Structure 1
């Protein structure tokens, strides 16, 4: 569903080096990436094409690890394995993915092992913060502060179903930096069972995500940085919209990226290719026999969450709410219905639809991701100015 900005990750990683050293690390990227894609059973593709999400995070992790040169012995070992598929797979198995995931997170957060870092360009600092849901689960969270004297308010970023606080290949990181650079304070967090938060994937529920969102809202509210807005992506729209009955009055603005507004036609009777692949007969049999099904080859969705899909109607709640909203949606979305979102925008007052022409779910190129980010930042700035 998402694509990886391969070139962008490479340049971000090698940016920590200079001259010939940067070139040497860049050459190592191809070896590491091929090893991981071979190990995970994915076909090697060019940097311009999308990778399956199950490989995307591992790909980023290896790119970052290679750029940081954290384990030179891996490069020495690779020369012994050679460039065949079997050799690359063996080389890939020498990498400790769990460890590299930590390095990757540090690079994407910009913290590099410290609790806070100055990002510059008006974006201020990024700091890890403590966040506990009301039922006691510890949630992974970071705050992007702004150095600008005229703080516009706070923005809470709410991620999708199989990702974490970075939203796929780091799109929320880039959005947060842009927002902080123009005067917003930004909170990102991972729902339970995602990223570095407590809980398990199979234990994820809509109700639990609503509890986590409540905790994140209280964190953003407690920062006292002005009016609060929310940007929710894909499945993150479900808990966000279902919370509008209590959140509506204190929410300044709402942005929905490719929002899941109809659970029935997305998951229970899927009308689009992604839903058919992930929630079809074979997956239903796995759910019946094992108590979970596997989404995108990596996320274990439990039977309780699946049962909740029949219980909630986020579209009805959204249409009944009044907070001013921007919907950003690709018109070639193969996972979440664009027509449903477009019709909701047409029916509902104070709702603007921005169509990313030709885009699949998650905005399937760097150019389209940048379009979604720019439209979002510009709209939130305009709305903040209009309210001041």
Structure 2
């Protein structure tokens, strides 16, 4: 694994890690791993294990931390959706320059927001897309939360603190600022996917208390070339070795076939 720094489109430095196949094997394609709202390039360890698995199967994996996350520049309070879109644009340009060949994306949770909004220009470049428990509806996840995690973190008391103090603390540890929430009513990531998505696999745990399983399932039923793979008993982030191992295995198999250009493939 190589640690690198990538300058975002506005100059903020992003931490990234590149997992390459064995030198004698060469690379059959590149996969960008896009993390969630309070995670970093490790995505709780799941992205490390996925990247290693992809490299072992002949694919280059590029993990990176959005601004304000991990050791990237910026601050958590300065995190915005627009900023994350700039970061994704920069890392995808880096990958295209350094690793020619087919490109795919794995986006987890909130990482699906910037990815979906980038589909008008990014989608046509992708051989495939995998979404892990994706945020597809900002209103129902954050602004008018329907599930326990959202109610606990973004309910009336938290919104009052945001209005008064300029930030709220997600999961008791990650401060988010006003501008992020001011953006949310304007953005509809699902529309970007509906209009511009490449073939995609959606993995979602049916016990997810953070992000709606039903929204993801219905999206996969209506968007062309999307497949839905439920993980029975899995919570958000596929915590637990059994569910994470299943997610990594299904994702790797699907991406191998997508990069090979075999069209619709199953988990």
TM-score of the pair, normalised by structure 1: 0.66
TM-score (norm 2): 0.96
Flag the structure with higher strand content.
Answer: 2
* Mapped partners of 1:130, 1:140: distance in 2: 5
Distance 2:97 2:250 in 1: 27
Give the 3-state SS of the residue equivalent to 1:213 in structure 2.
helix
For structure 2, the residue ranges without an aligned partner over 5 or more in a row are none
Aligned to 2:58: 183
Which has the larger Rg? 1
* Distance 1:374-1:383 versus aligned 2 partners, 3 A rule: same
- What's the CA shift string for 1:201-235, capped at 9, x where partnerless? 00000000000000110111112341000000000
1:241 aligns with 2:116: yes
1:174 counterpart = 2:49: yes
Q: Write the mapping of 1:286-297 to structure 2, written as runs, cut at 5 A.
A: 286-297=161-172
CA distance in 2, matches of 1:366, 1:224: 31
2:183 and 2:18 mapped to 1: Cα distance?
31
1:244-294 Cα shifts (integer Å, max 9, x gaps): 001111111010000000000000000000000000111111101100011
1:384 Cα deviation after fit: 2.5
The answer on 1:149 being equivalent to 2:25 is yes
Structure 1: which 4+ aligned runs deviate by more than 6 Å?
A: none
- How many residue pairs align between the two structures? 262
Work out whether 1:210 is the aligned partner of 2:71. no
**Inter-partner Cα distance in structure 1 for 2:37 and 2:223:** 25
Residue of structure 2 equivalent to 1:45? none
Q: 1:352 aligns with which of 227, 233, 239?
A: 227
Q: Which has the higher contact order (CA 8 A, sep 6+)?
A: 2
CA-to-aligned-CA distance 1:54-104 (integer Å, 9 cap, x gap) = xxxxxxxxxxxxxxxxxxxxxxxxxxxxxxxxxxxxxxxxxxxxxxxxxxx
Out of 136, 140, 154, the position equivalent to 2:11 is: 136
What does 1:184-203 correspond to in 2, within 5 Å? Answer: 184-203=59-78
The CA RMSD measured in Å over matched residues stands at 1.2
Q: Select the residue among 22, 41, 47 that pairs with 1:165.
A: 41
Match of 2:181 in 1: 306
Q: 2: CA distance between counterparts of 1:279 and 1:192?
A: 22
Alignment of 1:108-119 (within 5 A): none
